[in-house]
Structure 1
Amino acid sequence: MHRSIQELGIDRLSVADRIALAQEIWDSIAESVQNTAPNAAEIAELDHRLSEDENAPESAIDWQQIRSAALRKWSQN
């Protein structure tokens, strides 16, 4: 069942209230996902990534390098 924001009256809310509602919806989704066990395909992918990391730890990229590259790219735009 798909209902539009107009049918639900969401379009009549203030921007601040719509943002707060979106955050509440996002939080409820995150909570639901957090309480859901990974399926077989997800477990297989995690096992594959762990195996790759254990076999070639030097190929990992440090978070600070990723963050710095992203910030440089963002500041160029």
Structure 2
Amino acid sequence: MKTVRRSTTSACYPSSERKPFEVLGYILIGVGVILLFLCIPGWAWVALIGVVMVVLGYFLVKISKAWR
């Protein structure tokens, strides 16, 4: 019977080097949503910046989860 050697790191445990990207993504999403709701009535360009921040934050979260 052949024994299988498993690595010490597992896919179940998140990598600590990718965690800052995930946190930054969530921060961008939160700030973007706040900008979006606060600036829709007055400044459309700031609301657009909020939308861009939400999209960038979403992609950062997706990328950081894909690296795990």
Same fold (TM over 0.5): no
TM-score computed with the length of structure 1 as normaliser: 0.34
Considering Cα pairs closer than 8 Å and 6+ residues apart, tell me whether 1 or 2 has the greater RCO. 2
TM-score computed with the length of structure 2 as normaliser: 0.37
Whose helix proportion is higher, 1 or 2?
1
User: Computing the radius of gyration over CA atoms, which structure comes out larger, 1 or 2?
Assistant: 1
